[in-house]
Each structure stands twice: as structure tokens, then as C-alpha cells.
């Protein structure tokens, strides 16, 4: 359309005016009937913007920053009377409603599609209510003015009270006008606050679900050696071990672990377990004596082994499930592996103890072979997100929930196929990956590591900060 034929609609005093040509619009600007803040919708627009965005107001116009081009927040009644769907995505308005909106001047051919049906009905009712109130006010004003004038004139003529009564009636009419002016100003203020609140909600950051781990979690669970290296398959039956060894255990590989150091580790562990079960100690100690004796033992016996572990440890794998299972760790000799755990007595500092392990199988593989053979089995799926979040907004004394929907979240639960006793994990995937995955599907580790997925202990919603909350 040529520039000279561009038309505009304006939202003035609660009504939609227009369309006006650009020449007519500029004339309204010059006359002061349209300000830089007046809401304006050019022909074909789907949203209202300040007039300063489309028309020139000279150097005196305030700086207007358009709202970000994001989804328009949904404005719904907290009592359920508002619409939850945006006008553009809802069904087309019935013809009789479209005709009535245009007939009443509430919309034009270019702005009619900005309404959904619920908003359109509310606008028509509001207009009719306003017209009815205005008509009644004019009738009452005319009757009151005529009868009041006649009565005042009569009383002025007949009694000294006439002047007093006339003064009271004059104040009543002045009070009504003042109340009307305050109401208009209050609505204008609420609309300005609403516009600011919508802008703040649009720009609010919706963070990814918290407490997730990156792909490093997967890499740490499945140790992949570089080039050709020995990979040790370690089997541990925790049901046969003392409960004290189940406190955050891990498998540790040392550069070397000769028979002398193995005996020192086994001896230290045996004594530490007696302190954990004091009834097995040869000398009966009360709580104070036990704590002091433990501290002395820990300080004297821990130095040598702790220093050895500090310099000789080359790899460590955390164990998240202390049932019988199998874990892989990178190394060369099955004689250099130990189970490590922290033992604490009372409130004293913990002592790290080591249990040498003999039942490890050595296998040799390459990185590519490992990636091709490792697989995860799908246990289940769950979709979260798509929840309204925002804040409560009060408009003319009524509470509304001002919000918009959070994006969908697609979780897939998996477990290593080869280790049925290992702890399952929840993987935050893409919609495409989620849809193509079915229960019992086998996903190669190589494919999982090729995505930037995050891993969780359980499905988690988005992290909403600040003053915004999910709608209950």
C-alpha cells in the first residue's frame, strides 16, 4: 500500500477511533487530541503500540521503547471469568458479534481480529453499560437541573431556606463530576500499570530446571578410555560388607598397590570398624573416651595411607547404588583396585578407609568399540511444562492472574542396559527425541553423548525466580 494510503486506528477514552489517513492522524497530533502515549494500531496490525512508534511528534515526544517481540501475556480473571486463549489463536468471531463491534465503533475491519469471543462480548457489554449509565445520568441531570432550578427559584422566592438548599444541590452535582473524573484517572493509571507489568513479564527470564547435570555425569558413569587401554570391570556385593562402608563409597584405582600396603589398609579398616562398633573393642570406653581414642587413632594411623592415596590414586568412580552391581574403571591391573569409604565416629572428623578388591575382570577395548557397545534402556517418559506462570494483578479492585505458559519439558528415564542394579537417571531431551523414543528402547551411549542433554534424579519443572509463580 502506498505511504499516503496508510490508515491508523486509535484507542481514545476507552473507545477505538478510526480508521484515519496519515494526513488526518497528523492533524490530530497537531491539535493535541493524540499524544505520543495514545495506543495506535496501523492497518493490518495485530497489537496496540504507542502512537510515537508510528507517527512523528517532534523533539518533545518522549522516548518510546516498544514491547519485546515475544508472546503476549494472557490476561485472565482469577475468578475464571477471563479468557485464557489469545485472540489470534482462538476461533473466528461469530458474524453477529463482528458486526456489532464494528457498528458500535469498538473495532474496525483492521482491528476486529484482535478480539477473541470472550473479549468481544465483554467489550460490547462494557460499552452498553457505559451508554446506559451515561443516558441515565443525562436524564437525571436534566430532570434534576430543571426541577432543582424550579424548586430553588420557588424556595428563594418563598423562604430564606432556598439559598441553603440551592447550595447543597450544587455541591452534589459537583461531587458527581469529581467522582467521574477520578474514576477515569484511576482506569488510566491501572492501564498504564498493566502495560508495564506485561512488559516486565515478557522480559522475565525463565531458567532451565535446576539441579541438573551436564553430559559430564554420563561420561563419569561410563568411563571411556582413550586409545587402547585396559578397562577393569569391578564387581561388588555390598550385602556382604559392613554398613559403614556404604557411606558414599567409591572405587579407586592406584598406580601400584603392593602386598605390604594392602595389609596396612586391611589392618586400618579392621580397627576403624571396631570403633564404629565399640562393643567389639577390647577396652570399654564411654562416649568421651571413645571420641578421644578415635581422634588419636585417626591422626596416627591415617598419615601414611592418606599420603599414599594422594600420590598414587589415578582414577575414582562414585557409586550411587549400593546394591550388588558392576562398575567400570580405567586401569591396567586388577590388583590395584580398592573400595574407599569415609567412616565417622561421633562428631569427629571422618577417616577415609580402603578395602582392597580382588574380583575385578580386565578387558581391553577402544573408545569407538566402547561407544558402540554401551547402551541405555528406556524405562519411561514424562512430559512437564506448559504451565501458566506470572503474578496477581489488581485492576479496578478485582484480582486477575497475569501470566503466560512455560515451554514444554520432555523427560526420558533410562538405565544402563548392562547394569540392571544401577540407579536410573532422567534425561531432559528434545521433543523430537522424546517422540521417537518408546519404552524398552535401547539408546547407544554414543548417541546420548552427541546431544547437549541434561541429567536429573527426577523430573523437574522450570526454575522461576523473582516474584513470579506457577498458577495453582
pLDDT of residue 379: 93
Do 198 and 237 share a domain, yes or no? Answer: no
| Distance in angstroms (rounded) separating the CA atoms of residues 225 and 151 | 105
Could you tell me if residue 422 is inside a domain?
yes
| Distance in angstroms (rounded) separating the CA atoms of residues 423 and 176 | 72
pLDDT of residue 81: 37
- Give me the CATH number covering residue 26: 3.30.1490
Do 145 and 251 share a domain, yes or no? Answer: no
| Domain boundary pick from 305, 335, 369 | 369
pLDDT of residue 410: 94
Do 100 and 199 share a domain, yes or no? Answer: yes
> Which residue, among 363, 407, 402, 370, has the nearest Cα to 385 in the 3D structure?
407
Do 231 and 306 share a domain, yes or no? Answer: yes
pLDDT of residue 380 exceeding 90, the answer is: yes
Could you tell me if residue 258 is inside a domain?
yes
Could you tell me if residue 177 is inside a domain?
yes
Do 165 and 231 share a domain, yes or no? Answer: no
Question: Considering its fold, how many domains does the chain have in total?
Answer: 4
> Which residue, among 134, 132, 90, has the nearest Cα to 113 in the 3D structure?
90
| Domain boundary pick from 66, 88, 122 | 66
Q: What digits encode the pLDDT tens for the residues 404-429?
A: 888 899 999 998 787 666 678 889 99
Could you tell me if residue 443 is inside a domain?
yes
Q: Within a 10 A sphere around the Cβ of 207, how many other Cβ atoms?
A: 9
| Domain boundary pick from 312, 336, 369 | 369
pLDDT of residue 390: 87
Do 122 and 172 share a domain, yes or no? Answer: yes
**What single string gives the DSSP state of each residue in 214-265?**
-THHHHHHS---SSSEEEEEEEE-GGGS-GGGGSS-EEEEES---HHHHHHH
Q: What digits encode the pLDDT tens for the residues 119-166?
A: 778 778 777 777 777 777 667 665 655 555 554 454 444 555 545 555
Do 169 and 100 share a domain, yes or no? Answer: yes
pLDDT of residue 145: 55
pLDDT of residue 38 exceeding 70, the answer is: yes
Do 324 and 338 share a domain, yes or no? Answer: yes
Could you tell me if residue 388 is inside a domain?
yes
Q: 223 — phi, psi (to 5°)?
A: -70, 120
Do 119 and 163 share a domain, yes or no? Answer: yes
- Per the model's pLDDT, the better-predicted residue between 220 and 297 turns out to be 297
Could you tell me if residue 218 is inside a domain?
no
pLDDT of residue 155: 46
Do 95 and 159 share a domain, yes or no? Answer: yes
Do 166 and 196 share a domain, yes or no? Answer: yes
pLDDT of residue 385 exceeding 70, the answer is: yes
Write out the residue range of the structural domain in which residue 259 sits: 223-369
Could you tell me if residue 71 is inside a domain?
no
Q: 113 — phi, psi (to 5°)?
A: -80, 5
Q: What digits encode the pLDDT tens for the residues 146-156?
A: 555 554 454 44
Do 121 and 140 share a domain, yes or no? Answer: yes
pLDDT of residue 431: 92
Residue 312, C-alpha cell as written in the block: 598414587
Could you tell me if residue 213 is inside a domain?
no
Amino acid at each position: 500500500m502506498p505511504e499516503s494510503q496508510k490508515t491508523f486506528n486509535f484507542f481514545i477514552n476507552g473507545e477505538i477511533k478510526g480508521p484515519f489517513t496519515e494526513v488526518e492522524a497528523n492533524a490530530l497530533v497537531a491539535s493535541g487530541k493524540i499524544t505520543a502515549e495514545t495506543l495506535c494500531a496501523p492497518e493490518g496490525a495485530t497489537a496496540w503500540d504507542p502512537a510515537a512508534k508510528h507517527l512523528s511528534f517532534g523533539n518533545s515526544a518522549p522516548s518510546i521503547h516498544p514491547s519485546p517481540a515475544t508472546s503476549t501475556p494472557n490476561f485472565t480473571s482469577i475468578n475464571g471469568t477471563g479468557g485464557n486463549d489469545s485472540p489470534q489463536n482462538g476461533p473466528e468471531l461469530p458474524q453477529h458479534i463482528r458486526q456489532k463491534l464494528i457498528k458500535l465503533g469498538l473495532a474496525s475491519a483492521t482491528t476486529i481480529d484482535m478480539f477473541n469471543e470472550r473479549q468481544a462480548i465483554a467489550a460490547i457489554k462494557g460499552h452498553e453499560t457505559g451508554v446506559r449509565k451515561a443516558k441515565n445520568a443525562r436524564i437525571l441531570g436534566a430532570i434534576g437541573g430543571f426541577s432543582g432550578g424550579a424548586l430553588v427559584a420557588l424556595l428563594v422566592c418563598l423562604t430564606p431556606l432556598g439559598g441553603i438548599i440551592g447550595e447543597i444541590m450544587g455541591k452534589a452535582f459537583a461531587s458527581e463530576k469529581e467522582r467521574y473524573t477520578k474514576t477515569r484517572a484511576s482506569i488510566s493509571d491501572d492501564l498504564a500499570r498493566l502495560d508495564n507489568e506485561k512488559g516486565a513479564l515478557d522480559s522475565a527470564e525463565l531458567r532451565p530446571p535446576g539441579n541438573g547435570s551436564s553430559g559430564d555425569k554420563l561420561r563419569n558413569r561410563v568411563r571411556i578410555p582413550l586409545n587402547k587401554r585396559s578397562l577393569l570391570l569391578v564387581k561388588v556385593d555390598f550385602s556382604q560388607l559392613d554398613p559403614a562402608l556404604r557411606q558414599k563409597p567409591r572405587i579407586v584405582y592406584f598406580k601400584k598397590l603392593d602386598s605390604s600396603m594392602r595389609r596396612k589398609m586391611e589392618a586400618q579398616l579392621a580397627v576403624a570398624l571396631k570403633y564404629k562398633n565399640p562393643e567389639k573393642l577390647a577396652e570399654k570406653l564411654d562416649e568421651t573416651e571413645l571420641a578421644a581414642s578415635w581422634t588419636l587413632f585417626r591422626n596416627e594411623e591415617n598419615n601414611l595411607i592418606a599420603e599414599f592415596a594422594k600420590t598414587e590414586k589415578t582414577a575414582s568412580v562414585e557409586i550411587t547404588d549400593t546394591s550388588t552391581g558392576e562398575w567400570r574403571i580405567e586401569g591396567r591391573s586388577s590388583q590395584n583396585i580398592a573400595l574407599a569409604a569415609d567412616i565417622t565416629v561421633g562428631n569427629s572428623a571422618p577417616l577415609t578407609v580402603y578395602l582392597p578388591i580382588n574380583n575385578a575382570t580386565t578387558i581391553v577395548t577402544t573408545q569407538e568399540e566402547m561407544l558402540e557397545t554401551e547402551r541405555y534402556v528406556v524405562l519411561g517418559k514424562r512430559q512437564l511444562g506448559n504451565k501458566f506462570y506470572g503474578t496477581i494483578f489488581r485492576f479496578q479492585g478485582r484480582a486477575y492472574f497475569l501470566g503466560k505458559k512455560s515451554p514444554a519439558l520432555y523427560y526420558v528415564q533410562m538405565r544402563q542396559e548392562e547394569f540392571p542394579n544401577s540407579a536410573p537417571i532422567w534425561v531432559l531431551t528434545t521433543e523430537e527425541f522424546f517422540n521417537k523414543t518408546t519404552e524398552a528402547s535401547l539408546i547407544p551411549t554414543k548417541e546420548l553423548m552427541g546431544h547437549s542433554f541434561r541429567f536429573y534424579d527426577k523430573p523437574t519443572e522450570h526454575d522461576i525466580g523473582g516474584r513470579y509463580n506457577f498458577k495453582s
